[in-house]
Amino acid sequence: MIKNTNALQPLVFWAQTREHITLRIDLKDSSTPLVNATEKCFEFSSKGYGACGFNEYKFELNFYDSIYKEQYSYRITDTKVEFVIKKNEYKWWPRLVAAPQKPHWLRIDFDRWRIEDEMIEDEKPRNIMEDYSKELGKVQKEELGYFKVFDLIIYPWSRL
């Protein structure tokens, strides 16, 4: 856990896929972050502008399951720090942290959130011609029928 009890925690948004965890840390103008990752724990520390102005912000996450401690990447932008962390096992976690109660500064990143049902890889794109064959046939009959009547009525007089 974080040693300094007076340390400030930034807002951290998380999302997952079967293979990765994504963390988005809401910290503007962040300097080079200090990161310590173990198989079950992730520690972050950096200076930047957070909810309480320019300060040092830190947090520690004890993960629900294990991660590859060497296989993470991060990107620093003007407004945030983003981490992509690879899971040890490709499976969905019911929550990010080991404890049933999440920290108050940890939120779900709904912009990147995916649910297990959305990520079915075997699902093929639907063929709209098969799904709506009756409706398509009806529309084609009506449209082609209209053009046939039009051709029979108008077209012969246009040759004159």
Q: In angstroms, rounded to a whole number, what is the distance separating the alpha carbons of residues 145 and 129?
A: 20
User: Biggest alpha carbon distance in the chain?
Assistant: 96
Using one digit for the tens of pLDDT, what is the confidence trace for 86-99? Answer: 999 888 888 889 88
Q: In angstroms, rounded to a whole number, what is the distance separating the alpha carbons of residues 50 and 56?
A: 9
Using one digit for the tens of pLDDT, what is the confidence trace for 18-59? Answer: 889 999 999 998 878 899 999 999 999 999 888 888 889 999
